[in-house]
Each structure stands twice: as C-alpha cells, then as structure tokens.
Amino acid sequence: MGDLPERATLYKPKEGKEIKGCIQIVHGMAEHQKRYAPLAHFLADNGYVVVTSDLRGHGDNIKSEKELGFFGENALNGLMDDVKELFDYLKEEYPDQKMILLGHSMGTLISTTYFKKHDKELDAMILSGMPGNNNAKTVAKSLIKFIAAFKGWYHRSAFINNLCNGAFAKPFASEGSAFAWLSVDKDNVAAYEADPKCGYVFTLNGFYTLMELMINAYDAPWDKANPDIPVRLISGADDPCRVNDETFKQSVEMFKKAGYTNVTYKLYPGQRHEIFNDTEHETVFAELLDFLKTV
C-alpha cells in the first residue's frame, strides 16, 4: 500500500458511506489546493474520494517564495508524472472505483494534456474555466525563452504577465481590483488578494510552462482509446479567460473533432472565472453532482 504524497490532501466519505468514485482535482495558476476544500468536502459528503494537491511552484509545494510560479526543468513531463502518481495511489487504494479528472483553468490544460495520453485509464473528465486557445502561444513561448536568456528563468516579467493575463482585468476595471475577473463575489476576490500564495506573477519558467501546456492541450496529437468517455466543459458566461462564446465552443468542438462522442458543456450566466467559488457555486456543485451520477 503506497503513501499519499506530502503535497496532496485526501477527502473521504464518512465511515460506512458507499464510495461512488475517485476524483483528482487539479487547480489553476497562482493559487493552491486549499481553495478547493469546500468543493472536495461537498463531493466527499456525497460519496466520492477526492484528492487535491499543490502543483509544482504552488501552495505549500515550495521551499521559498522564490519558487512561487517556478515549475523547474522538464516541467511538462513532471506535471504529467504528478497527475499519474496520484491516480496510481487512488487505483491502489480503491481498485474497483471509477477514476475522474477535474481541472480548473491552467489545471484544464494539465488535465487535457494528460487525457490525450491516458483517456483509457479514466472514466470521466470535467474542465472548469478552460483558457481559450491563443494562436500566439508558440510565438509567446519563443519570446519568453529569449528574455530568459538575458534575465534568467526565475525572472518575473511585468511585460509577459500583461501579455498573458492583462486582457482579463480590462472588462472589470471599474471595480477597482486586478482580480475582479475571477469572481462576482467580492469576498472571494478579497480573500484571493490577501492570500500571499495567490495572485503572484509567474516566473519566466512558469509562463514558458503555461505556453507548453496550451500548445499540448490544443495542438498535440491524441492517443484516443476511450471515445465514449464523458467529457464536460463548464465556465462562467462572463469569464474572460475563455475569451468569448465562439472560442469556448471551439474548445468544446476540439474534443468532438478528435472523435469523443460524449462531450457536453454549460455556461453559467452572470458568473466569472471561478465558478466553484462564485455567487452561484451551490448550483454549480449540484449540477456537477448530477453529471457525476451519469458516469
């Protein structure tokens, strides 16, 4: 029996409650696993074993503040290994249970990249707040590498941060917070701003990894082995990270064009990027549970 990695947290149903499946949650950029505790507790209360973890360069999975937003060398393969390690643990502990992958924001890019090689090992995937495809991602990756040659991979570039994230805040500039795009719920935005392990500027290594993830999620070939697997994409209708309705639909269609036959989606009116923490999160939780019942 293997040990749960130190970076991870396990949420289990109460003793004696029927287990309905196992869910791994992959969080987004510049945040951490503890922000998914309410969702994880809800799912555990409804019969699911849930594992969350801090990604490389995030949360408590760092040795110093310098490492916030720094993934290290060979980051893409490392992230895939991290997802696999947690699923290996779940499969060993709960060998007869369904395995479900849930990613949010940057976590959707990690999840989709993993899914492309491992769909046969999964029973469903949920993607929340998937970033819309950026056609300049390859150029941006080269630019980041060029700057890193002079500044180093730990450098935090305001220019690259604005290039990658600056557009998200513009529709909500009148609200007085650079992070208003995350949520209609002002308390959630304030808590994010006050958290020293949220909202920091990625290192160049972090942004380079982000571009690699987007390239792999949108452009890498598929090793499709489980075409009937349920895939669900959900986002706030006012989430600027998805870019717009057309770009969101393109993300949905990507899975259908790859040959997946059970792809569904929903946009939540009036909600922004963090639909699990926004004003209608109870509805989002309930509808997520409805979806899981179909898996």
**Structural domains of the chain ordered from first start:** 8-292 (3.40.50.1820)
Tell me what pLDDT residue 269 has: 97
Mean pLDDT, all residues of the chain: 97
**Its pTM surpasses 0.85:** yes
Residue ranges with strand state E in the chain: 8-11, 21-26, 48-53, 99-104, 124-128, 231-236, 263-268
Q: Determine the pLDDT at residue 124.
A: 98
- Distance (Å, rounded) from C-alpha 80 to C-alpha 200? 23
Give dist(CA 244, CA 253) in Å, integer. 14
Section 181-192 average pLDDT:
97
pLDDT in tens, 35-82: 999 999 999 999 999 999 999 999 999 999 999 999 999 999 999 999
Best CA proximity match to 32, nearest among 157, 200, 205:
200
Give the number of other Cβ atoms within 10 Å of residue 60's Cβ: 13
Query: For residue 170, is pLDDT > 80?
Result: yes
Whether the CB-CB separation of 271 and 236 falls below 8 Å is answered with: yes
If we measure between CA atoms, which residue out of 230, 228, 232 comes closest to residue 295? 230
Residue 197 in tokens: 């392990």
**Which tens digits make up the pLDDT trace of 102-140?**
999 999 999 999 999 999 999 999 999 999 999 999 999
Q: Rounded CA gap, 115 and 177, in Å?
A: 35
Query: What pLDDT does 3 receive?
Result: 86
164, pLDDT greater than 60 = yes
| Distance from chain centroid for Cα 141 | 20
- Name the CA dihedral angle for 280, 228, 254, 214, rounded to a multiple of 10 degrees: 70
